[in-house]
Amino acid sequence: MLRLDTYICTAKPAILDAFNHTEGFILILCSIGLCLCSLPNISFQMHKNSKETVPFFEDALDLTDVYNGSYESVLNVRQKRSLMASFMYAKWDADSREAKYVIRALRSFSPIELLAVDCWLPSSSCVQSVKLKRFPQITFHLKGFEDIPYRGFISVRHLAEHMHYLLNPVVFLRTKEDISSFLLTFKVVVLGHFNFSKQSSADFVQFHAASVSVNNLFADSFEGGREIIFAVAPTGSTKLSDGNKAIRIFFQCDSFVS
């Protein structure tokens, strides 16, 4: 019969040798895992995070937070408002958390209604309707136009200026002096001359549409309201108007080459 102390002395080198090898260590861990899985009272199922249904903006009374990810809320408000904005976020995203305070401050004084939507929940209609590559995403919804994604820097000043531009994309000029002042102030002035005596003007509708879309068309070169201006002067009101050209574009050169 093999004595107990003899068995321990015999098995000890084998155990130490197994621990000195990675394969043996992994085998031991797998064995422990199989033993635990065999126990009836232990469950390895992943539980749903209870924070998924908690609002992202907890104390923002003046901001609508659609934390269930319903994109229908955006569509409903869009039908009622001429201009609104949506802030699509993910709770885990660091950029969304940083932009959260910008959106809260912006909503405190902005006349534009802004909806915050959790666009990360897999079963939400926002994920199914909007395919986002990164968070957060700020989108402006203007009645009669396609959605306008914001591509600028997320700060209170930049967003406030962008909202102001969308509310007033076209400047009306009355005199030659007004036009001259704009030509000296801004890098690019798109000047349109339209006959407003008509009931409606298809040319002006297209001109207005171009002014709204300028920030997306030239996002890397010009900023609407700061470097490029769309202005309108009634036909025949100034000597700068040309009867053969309804729209003229003026560029301001920073340097001259002789």
CA neighbor of 86 nearest in space, from 72, 123, 59: 72
Backbone angles phi, psi at 8, to 5 degrees: -65, -45
Is there a shared CATH topology between the 50-165 domain and the 168-251 domain? Answer: yes
How far apart CA 104 and CA 94 sit, in angstroms, is 16
User: Can you give the pLDDT at residue 40?
Assistant: 42
Contact 117, 73 (CB under 8 A): yes
User: Can you give the pLDDT at residue 206?
Assistant: 87
CATH number, domain 50-165: 3.40.30.10
Average pLDDT per block of 10 residues along the chain, 258 residues long: 47 51 56 51 38 75 89 93 95 95 91 93 92 93 89 89 89 88 87 74 85 72 72 70 72 56
Q: Where are the domains of the chain?
A: 50-165, 168-251
User: Can you give the pLDDT at residue 220?
Assistant: 55
Q: Does the model's pTM come out above 0.75?
A: no
CA neighbor of 145 nearest in space, from 189, 91, 63, 84: 84
CB atoms within 10 A of CB 96: 23
The residue type of 128 is Q
CA atoms within 13 A on the CB side of 18: 11
CATH 3.40.30.10 fits 168-251, yes or no: yes
R_g of the chain computed on alpha carbons: 32
